[in-house]
Amino acid sequence: MVEREASIVRVADTQLDLPPGSPAATESHAMTMDADYTLWGVWPHMHNLGKELRVTANHRGSESCLAQVNRYQFHWQRFAFYEQPLRVLAGDVLRITCTYDTTSRDTTTRWGFGTDDEMCIGFFYITRTDEVDGAGVGLQRSSSSSESRSSSSAMEGIRTSR
Tell me what pLDDT residue 135 has. Answer: 42
Q: What's the CA gap between 59 and 94, in Å, rounded?
A: 9
Tell me what pLDDT residue 131 has. Answer: 53
- Single pTM value for the model: 0.76
Task: Name the CATH code of domain 8-132 (choices 2.60.120.230, 1.10.540.10, 2.60.40.10, 2.70.98.70).
Answer: 2.60.120.230
Q: What's the CA gap between 52 and 100, in Å, rounded?
A: 7
Let me know: does 59 contact 141? Beta carbons within 8 Å.
yes
Let me know: does 42 contact 66? Beta carbons within 8 Å.
yes
Residues with Cβ within 8 Å of residue 48, at least 6 apart in sequence: 74, 115, 116
Tell me what pLDDT residue 129 has. Answer: 84
CA angle 13, 15, 18 (to 5 degrees): 95
Mean pLDDT by 10 residues, the chain (162 residues): 83 93 96 93 94 93 92 86 93 96 97 93 89 41 29 37 39
Kind of pairing between the strands at 50-59 and 93-100 = antiparallel
The domain spans of the chain are 8-132
